[in-house]
Structure 1
Amino acid sequence: MRILPRSAFARTVALIAGLLLINQVVSYIMVGLYVVKPSMQQISSVVARQVEGVLTLDQWLSDSRLSMPEKRDLARAYTAATGIKLMSQNEALQQGLTQTTGYSFLSSEMSRLLGTDAEVRISQGKNYQVWIHTEGMPDYWLQMELDSFDEARFSPLLFYLILIGILSVLGGMLFTNWQNRPLKALQAAARKIGRGEVPEQLPERGSTEVIAVTRAFNQMSKGVQQLEQDRALLMAGVSHDLRTPLTRIRLATEMMPPSEDFLAEGIISDIDDMNAIIDQFIDYVRIDTSADNETQNLNYLIEDVVGHVPDTWKSIITVNYQTIPDVPVRAISIKRVLLNLLENAERYGRQRIQIDTGFDVDEQQVWFSVSDDGPGIPATDVEHLLLPFTQGDKARATSGSGLGLAIVKRIIERHRGHISLGRSEQLGGLQVRVELPVSSSAGSAP
């Protein structure tokens, strides 16, 4: 299981997020040490002076000879002027002491300033209320309101730091996505070339490095396209040059005397084989385009191909049709696939050929399979049999150009489909399964 991101986009976003997280933590610590802490200390100093005044007044009243009513009036006047309320333990509990929160930092700072143990608690309402309990007045609690204490709250600071971090990460993601957009276009174009398609020239945009890569890719794409065109032209020229002498040989053979009929038939059969091989070469290098696509139902194409097989075939063909949707295909190419598969099954099978069709709802793919009752192909030879100019010497036969299944694979891949070879469970021979996507956007032929 991989924890670290693998794509460049994910790595860039992770790097930006990590740096921002470190920056936010450092900023939070720095603000706490150099902004919040000094403010707390300043507030504690102001409150401590007021508490010292209350303690001094309490000590003076205890030593003075004033009457009790006079002492109470003087204490009320002082507390009203300073905004400090003096409450007993029971009164403090009734006023909400149990709903307060103790702060160890403020308690230690207040103890340091007063020179005696002190406990500081804070309750939040419309305004912040500070509750102070000291050893100098063990039976009482001092309460005062601080309007300015709201400026030292941590919540807005934390909220703004998180907001800045989220916005920075989103901005980094947008920037990284913009940077990677040319690379995604390169990836899509490279996949088209891998499927035998000819992609359009990519726009040169992005960083200088990406522009250089895009320019090199466009040059390579032009080279591949030119090479494909040269190969098709070469094959067309070679096939034309070969058919001309073959035609002359055939005409000369047909004019041979009847006594040479056996020899003439052998020569004509060899000429037909050579023409078939030339046709296979042309089929292999032919470039289909998306303009050739039409929405077709494979059941109708299979019925058409099966209905036109030669009468000389010895195998009995059975077709099991299932209800399937239409797919965008080049009909002539799919018919070539079906005919090639049926010819292989007829050549290497014994007496039976079975064709099945179906629709995979989950994968949104239409499929068909061609099975025979021949000896099959060893598993070690399956992957090599789809390569060009690879014959089934080690599997089932030695004749042919070795392009039959290669042509099938090339056509199916250009339709963005998939071909697989295996053993038929019903007939015991080779089974070739072809899958074609239903969606035209994901499955049309190039």
Structure 2
Amino acid sequence: MQQKWWQRFIPRSAFSQTVLLIGCLLLINQLVSYLTVAMYVIKPSYQQINQLIARQVKLLFVDGVDIGREHLTIVDALNAKVRDDGMTIYNLQQARLAGIEQATYYSFWSSQMSEYLGGEAEVRVTHGKVLQIWIRPPQAPSVWINVPLIGQNVSDLSPLTLYLMVIGALSVGGGWWFARQQNRPLRRLQQAALSVSRGQYPAPLPLKGSSELVEVTNTFNQMAQSMKQLEQDRVLLMAGISHDLRTPLTRIRLASEMMVAEDQYLKEGIVNDIEDMDAIISQFIAYIRQDQDTLREPGQINQLIQDIAQAEANRPDTIEVVLADCPTAQFQPIGIKRVLSNLVENALRYGNGWLRISSQFDGKRIGFSVEDNGPGVNESQIPMLFHPFTQGDTARGSVGSGLGLAIIKRIIDRHQGTVSLANRPEGGLIAQVWIPLE
């Protein structure tokens, strides 16, 4: 199903979804609370203040303005009527000098003041230490009346805003902590499931969280314990089979050494069969054990490649070694050496006297590849070669138990790496392995 564009912005994890849900609910709650308080508390308060100011302004024009004397202006006449209410009247020039142009125009207050004064009025507000209301009344459009409101300053952080911010922060913090506590058992369960998929069995997880999580965790613990017991039983079974088979094989080999010279050809065949059977048994044991008890150590992949090439130097095949500048990485040296040995053994077995071992580094991963010049493998069979007991087609023979590549795959999976096979354009097969540095 094709994903819709808006679904790309929805978080994937349960933790992020829970935090997003709580945050959206809190945001809606804060907006509704703020609008409610603004509509039913703040707005009536400012309407009352606006009405009181309008009454004061009306009182200035009740008895008219006395400008009978020549030197007396309307501003002086209005100021003369102001007593101790703090109002100051300015003409247009004086208002500009006093900062009227920096004041903010409020249409809501202006419409209310126009209604109260019975004509078109204009209201502006100057924010500062003291909130100053500027009114241009319809009775005298050429003047500005300044009314300071002591103790009122909308630029300061109001108690309502502070309250909403604190409540919002505490709510979001509490929701984040709650979601994190709910998500922690799921994260532990995820990490434990990944460990089990890699063949590592962690200690039983603590039964914490909701009842559903406790039930799931308890079921997972039982499943992991059963799988661990099954793995141990399988290892014990294979160890017993190995011991029981190798003992008679040793007797047969000892008996073959006592054969007369005339039966030399028969002796060589028996010895070869015993060696093949012993190699198959060793592969079974390696597939079961997976080097689980081996810890990762800092090592150089180039050194392992050189050791493998030197160990195979007595063969008649031509072995080329191409080494890149690879950093030291953390890996299981025994496991990676087994991977190299198996790949080189396959290349020597199925190749035509030539193979190349190379190392690579792409900045985040170290890698190595093994190439041969054999007949290659059918492309349709390549994905199946990493399954246990699966072998290539007759073009590359059918020698062995079919566990070599399966062992390689399990070891590389334990390193969170990748392994792939591909036919070379020149003929033959190339096996490529990548291991992340972290």
Give TM-score, length-normalised by structure 2: 0.88
Distance 1:300 1:92 in 2: 87
Flag the 1:412–1:431 CA change in 2: closer, same or farther, 3 A: same
CA 1:231–1:103: 2 relative to 1, 3 Å: same
The equivalent of 2:429 in structure 1 is 430
CA distance, structure 2, for counterparts of residue 239 and residue 198 of structure 1: 25
Provide the residue aligned with 1:194 in structure 2. 197
Given candidates 295, 315, 318, the residue that maps to 2:317 is: 315
Matched, 1:343 2:345: yes
Cα distance in 2, alignment partners of residues 74 and 100 from structure 1: 25
Return the alpha-carbon distance in structure 1 between the equivalents of residues 77 and 415 of structure 2: 99
Q: Deviations over 1:170-212 (max 9, x none)?
A: 4422332232122212111111111112223222223332222
- Report the counterpart of residue 236 of structure 1 in structure 2: 239
Distance 1:432 1:35 in 2: 76
2:265 is aligned to 262
Q: Is 2:117–2:138's contact at 8 Å kept on the other side of the alignment?
A: no
Cα deviation 1:5-27 (Å, max 9, x = unaligned): 11111111110111111112111
Structure 2 gaps, min length 5: none
Corresponding position of 1:207: 210
CA shift, 1:352, in A, is: 0.7
Relative distance call for 1:219 and 1:375 in structure 2 (3 A) is: same
- The 3 A distance-change label for structure 1 pair 330 and 367 is same
Give me the whole-angstrom Cα distance separating, in 2, the residues matched to 1:296 and 1:151.
67
- Count of paired positions: 431
1:333 is matched with 335
Alpha-carbon distance in 2 for matches of 1:266, 1:327: 44
Distance (whole Å) between structure 1 residues aligned to residue 385 and residue 70 of structure 2:
117
RMSD between aligned residues: 3.0
1:150 aligns with 2:153: yes
Taking the aligned partners of 1:170 and 1:238, their CA distance within structure 2 comes to: 60
Q: CA deviation at 1:395?
A: 5.8
Aligned to 1:55: 61
- Shift of residue 33, structure 1, vs aligned partner: 0.3
Matched, 1:409 2:409: yes
Q: Which residue of 2 aligns with 1:366?
A: 366
CA deviation profile, 1:22-75 (whole Å, cap 9, x unmatched): 11211121111011101111101211111111110326x58xx99998x99985
The farther-off stretch of 236-245 and 147-156 is 147-156
Structure 1 position 3, deviation (Å): 1.6
Check if 1:280 corresponds to 2:283. Answer: yes
- The residue correspondences of 1:9-408 to structure 2 (distance < 5 A) are 9-58=15-64, 61=66, 76-150=79-153, 157-158=160-161, 161-162=164-165, 164-289=167-292, 291-309=294-312, 311=314, 313-360=315-362, 362-363=363-364, 365-393=365-393, 396-408=396-408
Question: Please, which runs of 5 or more residues in structure 1 have no aligned partner?
Answer: none
Moved more, 11-20 or 403-412: 403-412
Q: Deviations over 1:322-371 (max 9, x none)?
A: 343333444333332222111110111112111112333x20x3322111
Output the CA distance in 1 between the equivalents of 2:333 and 2:157.
71
Asked if the contact 1:99/1:123 (under 8 Å) is kept, the reply is yes
The whole-number CA distance in structure 1 between the counterparts of 2:90 and 2:166 is 42
Residue identity matched to 2:434? E
Task: Return the offset for 1:254.
Answer: 4.4
- Give per-residue Cα distances to partners, 1:295-323, cap 9 Å, x unaligned: 43333333333333384x44211112334
C-alpha spacing 1:152/1:51, structure 2 compared with 1 (3 Å): farther
Q: Which shows bigger deviation, 107-116 or 31-40?
A: 107-116
Instruction: Name the structure, 1 or 2, with higher relative contact order (CA <8 Å, separation 6+).
Output: 1
CA distance in 1, matches of 2:156, 2:95: 25
Opposite residue 433 of structure 2, the aligned amino acid is V
Q: Read off the aligned partner of 1:42 and give its amino acid letter.
A: Q
Q: What amino acid is aligned across from residue 136 of structure 1 in structure 2?
A: Q
Q: Percent identity?
A: 47
Contact between 1:314 and 1:346, CA under 8 Å: does it hold in 2? no
Counterpart code for 2:178 = F
- Measured against aligned partners, the alpha-carbon deviations of 1:251-304 in whole angstroms (never above 9, x if no partner) come to 444445544443443333223222211111011111424555444333333333
Q: 1:135 to 1:309 in 2, by over 3 A?
A: closer
SS at match of 1:150: coil
- Match for 2:10 among 4, 9, 25? 4
The alpha-carbon deviation at position 219 of structure 1 amounts to 1.6
Alignment check: 8 A CA contact 2:75 2:89 kept: no
Three-state SS of the structure 2 residue aligned to 1:126 is coil
SS at match of 2:400: coil
| Kept after mapping to 1: 8 A contact 2:79/2:89 | no
User: What is the CA distance between 1:111 and its match in structure 2?
Assistant: 2.2
What's the CA shift for 1:166?
A: 4.2
Query: What is the rounded CA distance, in whole Å, between the counterparts of 1:72 and 1:181 in structure 2?
Result: 73
Q: Within 2, Cα distance between the matches of 1:11 and 1:321?
A: 48
Amino acid at match of 1:326: T
Residue 64 of structure 2 aligns to a residue in which SS? helix
- More moved, 176-185 vs 398-407: 176-185
CA separation of 1:176/1:72 partners in 2, compared to 1, >3 Å: closer, same or farther?
A: closer
SS at match of 1:282: helix
